Structures are given as C-alpha cells and as structure tokens.
Amino acid sequence: MAALGSQNVQDAAIDVDPYAVLSNGDPSRLSVRSRHRLLEALGKLEVDDPFFRRVDRWRSFSASGFFTPDIVDAIRPMIVREGGGDLRALLLELLSGSPAVTSLRPELEAIVLDAAATSQCRRAALDCLVNEKLDLAFMVDPLIASATNEALRLAAKIVGYLGVARLPREKLRDLLLACANLYPVDPRERERVIGSRYFIRILVRDFDADLCGWLLDEITRGLTCTCGARSWDCHCRDGISKIAGHLLDRYFDIAEAPRDPARIWGWLKPLHFHRSASAKDSPAVRVLHEEHHLRREIQRLMFEGLTTREAMIDQGIDRYGHAGLSFQHDDIRPMMDHAIATGNVELWDVFVYSHNFYRARGERGPDELRHYARQQAHQNPDFLARWALRQRRQFRSWREMRDRRNRSQARWRRRERAGEEAAVRSLTNDRSLIEAGLHRWWLAHIARYYLIQPDEMQELTHGLIDVDAALRNYLRVLGDDIPTLEQCALGTARASVVGSGLVLVS
C-alpha cells in the first residue's frame, strides 16, 4: 500500500512502521526519496528497539529490488558499522542478489574476514558474494589463519562454491588440519553448539578418492601421540583422527577395488578413536567388515615388526584402533596360517585358542580351531614345542586355580559347620529358657521363621525345640508389651516387630 500510494502516503507508512514496509510491502516500488527515508527510519528503529525483528528473524524475504545504485552510498555506512541490533544482518541478507553487491564488494569481503562481526553478518555477506559468482579464493588463506569455527566454516563454504579442483591440494590439507583443532582436547568439555563441525562432513563429500588418499597420506604422516598418556586418557590425536575418519568414510564410499592394504594400514595405524563407529554409520567400517581379504591383509600388517607376546596381545585387543579392523571369528585361522607360513611361533601362540577347562564337560566337545592348531604344530618341531609348553602352562594354571578354589570352599564349609555346631549347642543349653518364653534372641528368630519361612523351621531348631509351646509362652511373657489393635491403627504403640508379629500369630 505504501509503495502504491503518493509520496505523502509512503512517508506516513514509513514513519508508522518502517520494518513492515520493508518486509510486507514491495519496497522496490518506493520512490528514491522514500527509500532514503526508509533506511533512515530503520536506523532510528534499531536505536529505539535493537532487536526489532524478534521471531521474524528466522523469516527470509526478498527485497533485492530495493537496493538500486542510487541508494548504495546510504547503505554503505549502515553495513560497515555494527549497530548492535538486527539491522546490519537484515540489510546484508536482503542485499543478496541485488545489483548493489558489486559496488559494495570491498565492504562485504571485509565483513567476511572480520572476526569481530557476528556469524549471521559474515554468512550473509559471503552469500552476497557467492551469488555474484565472484572469485573468492584469496579469502581462504586468511580464514584458515583465523582458525575459529566460524572462519573455517566460511572457508569450507568458499571451497565448496569454488570447487575443490580450483584450489591447490595443500590448501585443503591446511584447512583440514586447522579443523582438527576444533575438536575438544578435554573430553569432559561440553559442546557449546551441537553440530558446529558438521560443515567438515559436507566439505569432504566433494572430494574424490584420489584426493582423499592424498590428504590421508598427508595428515597421518608422522602422526603420533604427543601427550604420553595411557590409551584411555590420550586425546592428543582425537581431532585429526576424526578428520581422517571422515576422509576414510568418503574414500571407502567411492574408491574402486583393488585397494592397497599397506597404504590403508599406514593411514589407520596412528589413529586413535574413543568411540567405535558401526558399519551402519561408517562406510569405512562397513567395507572393512565385508571385504574379508582386504581386512585380513591389513590384520597381517598390524603384527609386522612386533616381537614380544605383550606387544602382540596389545595390538590384538587394541580398543582404540579403527573399528573396521576388529577380528572376526573367521579371521583367526588365516592368522594362524600366516604365522605358520612365516615361522612366527610367538604370533601363532597368541592366536591359538586356549582349552576351556571351565566349560561343562558335556559342552566342551572337539574344538575345531584347537584341533587345527594341533595338526599345524605337528608339522614343525618349533611349533610342537610351543604347543607342549602351552598345554603344560595352561594345565598348571588351571590346577592352581582349582586348588585355590578348593581351599576357599573348604574354608567356607568349615565356618559353616562351626556356626551350626554353636547353634545346636546354644539350643541344647538354653532349651528350657526358650521353651519358657524367656530367651528373647532365639524367640524373635523363631517367630520370624514361623511367619516367613515356616518350612525351614526344622533346619533352624534342629528339632530340639517345641516351637508352639515356646511361642505361646513368649506371648504370655510379653504380656503388656503387646499393643492393642486400636493402638496399632493409631500408630502410637511402640512395639517391636516381633511383638507385632506375635499379635498376628495369636
């Protein structure tokens, strides 16, 4: 209505509600004078009410026709200055796609690079530049150097807009290395913004297999723990491992077979994960789980160069490695074959299953893998010697365990027997007191059994006590201590559990 009306009507509408004129009308049809007046009115509105957009902030509308060249000079100071309210971001959002962007380019580039500007303004400024299809490659370096979450997100957006092929690979590597620092080093630190690193996933989706491979070579080369903490406390490689995890997922999603196991192991070896991904969520885990040949080739490489049993066991049960390499049942036999083929007695010993002495006799049955191991051992004296040693060692440890268990059971049985004997002695000695209703401790015990587990009374008293007579006498002895039903209902009586129990018995 404001746009269609006369100058006076336009002025009046602008004075009443400038934001409504901009957002609900067609501001491109306003006269040049009214546009200036509208900008001025919006400036005043922000002073009076900085967050004048309120929930409307999430609404987007187009007013690009409003920003004609004749008002560019009026807009310029308004977008350069941070007013502390909604206006700057609003103007930057509306500017996108308008012809004024070209003449405001230096200001917009400065906003994108300005670490003090709000993320809303920086993103809106970048959107303006991207929509104009301008060359923005020069902004990537300063944004990487800035290294904040917002700067790296903007850099990733520029990379996505330019296309990864337009940038040198080294720049992408530097960007990913900077992104690795966005992951918290202290796991107890709470994330302030959920999903603040999601842009890394989006960025990696644009990479081809060759680029992923090159980047993985680069970011894992020389990677090692620098904090010296034990595995469960080491977080110094968390960020880079996460980035490598994204690259691996992308790589396994698109790389054609055959894949080079040695190169893949080179990537995976230094990575450190505190949570293992599932095959459902991670293409790398899925492919490594499904491609048995590739996984087993890598598993062989995992043990290369290891000489001690401890080192091999540590490698075999490494809970912080890539989830795709975890051993499946059918991986054991190929590892035993590999150990035999390479004459590696220690490795073979680590993978041979132990005899399960503790399984029930009927369930033991012939263990296929152990049977296979025995056959293997008989082909080579070194392996046979180790087999015999294993058998002796296992039998000895089983016997020690058995003896220890027997000793502790005997101790327990002795204590049990002593308790029984003492009870029988006490029942025999105090029988007359108990049956006369005078031995409070025994009678409380007997009353509880009488109510709760009467079928075990024989075990308690060993048939030495006339239970009914004892309880009858006990009731008589308690006499006045037993509360009346009325007192029970009022909850005023101070009666023992046994006393109340006896009321119920009687």
Distance, CA of 66 to CA of 88 (rounded, Å) = 15
Q: What's the CA gap between 346 and 361, in Å, rounded? A: 30
CB of 270 to Zn ion, least distance (A): 11
Determine the Cα–Cα distance for residues 503 and 267; give it in Å rounded to an integer.
Answer: 78
180 lies in the binding site for Zn ion (CB under 5 A): no
The residue count for binding Zn ion (CB under 5 A) is 4
Is the CB of 135 or the CB of 314 nearer to Zn ion?
314
| Separation in Å, CA 194 to CA 190, 198, 199, 273, 413 | 10, 9, 12, 20, 59
In whole angstroms, the minimum distance from the beta carbon of 327 to Zn ion comes to 25
Closest distance to Zn ion from the beta carbon of 227 (Å):
3
Which residues lie below 8 Å from residue 475, measured CB to CB, with a gap of 6+?
437, 482, 502, 505, 506
- C-alpha span between 125 and 106 (Å, rounded): 11
Identify which of residues 97 and 270 has a Cβ nearer to Zn ion in the complex.
Answer: 270
3-class SS string, 1-42: CCCCCCHHHHHHHHHHCHHHHHHHCCHHHCCHHHHHHHHHHH
Q: Is 322 helix (H, G, I), strand (E, B) or coil?
A: coil
* The pair of three-digit structure tokens given for residue 207, joined into one six-digit string: 């990479």
Long-range pairs, 107-110, Cβ under 8 A, ≥24: 107/76, 107/79, 107/80, 108/79, 109/136, 109/139, 110/80
Cβ nearer to Zn ion, comparing 177 with 236: 236
The footprint of Zn ion on residues 35-94 (CB under 5 A) is none
Nearer to Zn ion, 185 or 401 (CB): 185
Interface segment toward Zn ion; rule CB under 5 A; list 222-230, 296-304, 386-394, 425-433: 222-230
CB neighbourhood size of 241 (10 A):
24
- The DSSP symbol for 186 reads S
CB of residue 232 to Zn ion, shortest distance in Å: 11
Identity of the residue, 3 or 236, whose beta carbon is nearer to Zn ion in the bound complex: 236
Least separation in angstroms between residue 237's CB and Zn ion is 6
Looking at 58-66, 151-159, 220-228, 422-430, which segment touches Zn ion (CB under 5 A)? Answer: 220-228
In this complex, which beta carbon is closest to Zn ion, that of residue 238 or of residue 297?
A: 238
**Selected binder of Zn ion within 80, 147, 180, 225 (CB under 5 A):** 225
Residues 227-256 interacting with Zn ion (rule: CB under 5 A): 227, 234, 236
Whose CA is closest to 13, among 32, 55, 41?
Answer: 41
Of 72 and 225, which CB lies nearer to Zn ion in the complex structure?
225
Nearer to Zn ion, 320 or 398 (CB): 320
Question: Min. distance of Cβ 193 from Zn ion in angstroms?
Answer: 26
Cβ 86 to Zn ion, closest distance in Å? Answer: 45
Least separation in angstroms between CB 298 and Zn ion = 23
In this complex, which beta carbon is closest to Zn ion, that of residue 104 or of residue 243?
A: 243
CA distances from 87 to 67, 95, 185, 276 (A): 15, 12, 37, 46
The continuous run of DSSP H or E covering 213 comes out as helix 209-220
- The distance of closest approach from Cβ of residue 239 to Zn ion in the complex, given in angstroms and rounded to an integer, is 12
Residues that bind Zn ion (CB under 5 A): 225, 227, 234, 236
